Amino acid sequence: MAERGRQAAIAGIGQTAFSRKDERSELQLAAEAANAALLDAGVAAAEVDGMITYTLDPTDEIGMIRCLGVENLAFTTRLPGGGAAAASTLHQAMAAVASGVCEVVLVWRSINQGAGYRYGRPQAVGTWLPGGGTGSLLWCMPFGAQAPATWAALASQRYMETYGVTNRDLAPVSVIQRKYAAVNPAALFFGKPITMEDHQQSKWIVEPVLRLLDCCQENAGAVAFVITTVERARTLRQPPVRIVAAAQSIPFNVEVISNYYHDDLTVMPEAVGTARRLYEQSGLGPRDIQTAQLYDAFTPQVLMQLEAFGFCGRGEAKDFVSGGNLELTGLLPVNTHGGLISEAYIHGMNTIAEGVRQARGTAVNQVRGVEHVLVSSGMAGAILGRV
């Protein structure tokens, strides 16, 4: 592990209520989440000198400056790759703080799919925008592959057929995450547990891979974080959560969702690369992680990340998830807020917020004895821990 003079910590987290539909603008949602994160940390908005969000985020840095009263911003970054940007934000914030470029970095993601871009709606025309991390969607559109569930499922099917994973094998992920959401008041599916049979009776979205209960949903909300030095964070309102390691990995020929061109579609090479960098940076391994918060727009992504991060062997994830290992009493509680499928789809950011709560010890479904939390958005990840 490289010697680092300045280490980064997450000092504050904030979020709006999550809902199906929200009348507020995406900028208002972002500003409210950011303000909540600053209040949580006990840092004045005027001190923010770095801002990081996604290329796909519909809000604007100048708008945020005007809402919050940021006095003199020194650094901005927008990260590519759709939801893969989620954990990249921590990586960039860590680099900005560790290098001394920034003292206080504000990270956010705001989404309002009732009013803005509805990800689940098919699209067949338009131009490709750089920064989505996925230049090859245009090769999908005229064939009826026009929405994220379809794009993702086409790659997952190869993994599933190769290892004999059926849609029923995905059900435990959905059922356990819903169990977590059912007791999480912030979740869209609070109070609504499901059974294996509910999963199997939900309609096909993409046959034979995804049923309705394998998919995230369109919704509205925002999540924000405040990142500063560990030293500064120690003086603030919350127990600091150290970014023990953070990394990005984009191997050759890998894309975000139309990810069909790398050598072996039964592995997720970007997550394998992220895992390798995180474990090298930290000196830790999968056995040192007590809970994992994994990007789960669709259930197969959970299985493939479990394998990529070494929590089980290749092709073994279906047995790992059916054996109760994702439960609070299991080997590796996963997506303890309910995940993107059952808490809300804030493009991966609410999953990182859950990682911070687990490290603080304040999660609704708190895992006992947490020392290290893995948060992953596939192409990027971080290991979080108490200071």
Q: Please say whether the beta carbons of 347 and 54 come within 8 A.
A: yes
Residue 249 Cβ, how far from other proteins at the closest point, in Å?
18
Residue 310 Cβ, how far from other proteins at the closest point, in Å?
25
Pairing state of beta strands 8-15 and 105-112?
Answer: unpaired
Should residue 258 be labelled a site residue for other proteins when binding is judged by CB under 8 A?
Answer: yes
In angstroms, the CA 192 to CA 89 distance is 32
Should residue 168 be labelled a site residue for other proteins when binding is judged by CB under 8 A?
Answer: no
Should residue 139 be labelled a site residue for other proteins when binding is judged by CB under 8 A?
Answer: yes
Which has the closest alpha carbon to 135: 121, 149, 151?
151
Should residue 191 be labelled a site residue for other proteins when binding is judged by CB under 8 A?
Answer: no
In angstroms, the CA 315 to CA 65 distance is 47
Residue 257 Cβ, how far from other proteins at the closest point, in Å?
12
Residue 215 Cβ, how far from other proteins at the closest point, in Å?
10
Other residues' Cβ atoms within 10 Å of the Cβ of residue 153: 22
HEC assignment per residue over 32-88: HHHHHHHHHHCCCHHHCCEEEEECCCCCCHHHHHHHHCCCCCCEEEEECCHHHHHHH
Q: Which of 119, 159, 279, 295 is catalytic?
A: 295
Tell me, residue by residue from 76 to 105, as one string, x for binding to other proteins by CB under 8 A and - for no binding. Answer: ------------------------------
- Please report which helix (H) or strand (E) contains residue 228, including its range: strand 220-229
DSSP of 124-147, one letter per residue?
Answer: --S-PPTTSS-GGGGGTGGGT--S
Residues 194-223 that bind other proteins (CB under 8 A): 203-209, 212
In angstroms, the CA 69 to CA 48 distance is 9
Should residue 153 be labelled a site residue for other proteins when binding is judged by CB under 8 A?
Answer: yes
Should residue 120 be labelled a site residue for other proteins when binding is judged by CB under 8 A?
Answer: yes
Is 345 labeled as catalytic in the residue annotation? yes
Q: Which of 20, 21, 121, 168 binds other proteins (CB under 8 A)?
A: 121
In angstroms, the CA 292 to CA 374 distance is 5
Should residue 252 be labelled a site residue for other proteins when binding is judged by CB under 8 A?
Answer: yes
Residue span binding other proteins (CB under 8 A) among the ranges 33-41, 146-154, 192-200, 222-230:
146-154
Residue span binding other proteins (CB under 8 A) among the ranges 1-9, 48-56, 87-95, 148-156:
148-156
Should residue 164 be labelled a site residue for other proteins when binding is judged by CB under 8 A?
Answer: no
Q: Please say whether the beta carbons of 337 and 354 come within 8 A.
A: yes
Q: Which of 54, 159, 279, 345 is catalytic?
A: 345
Using CB under 8 A as the criterion, which residues of the chain lie in contact with other proteins when the complex forms?
120-128, 135-136, 138-147, 149-150, 153-155, 157-158, 161-162, 203-209, 212, 252, 258, 260-261, 265
List residues with catalytic annotation.
Answer: 295, 345
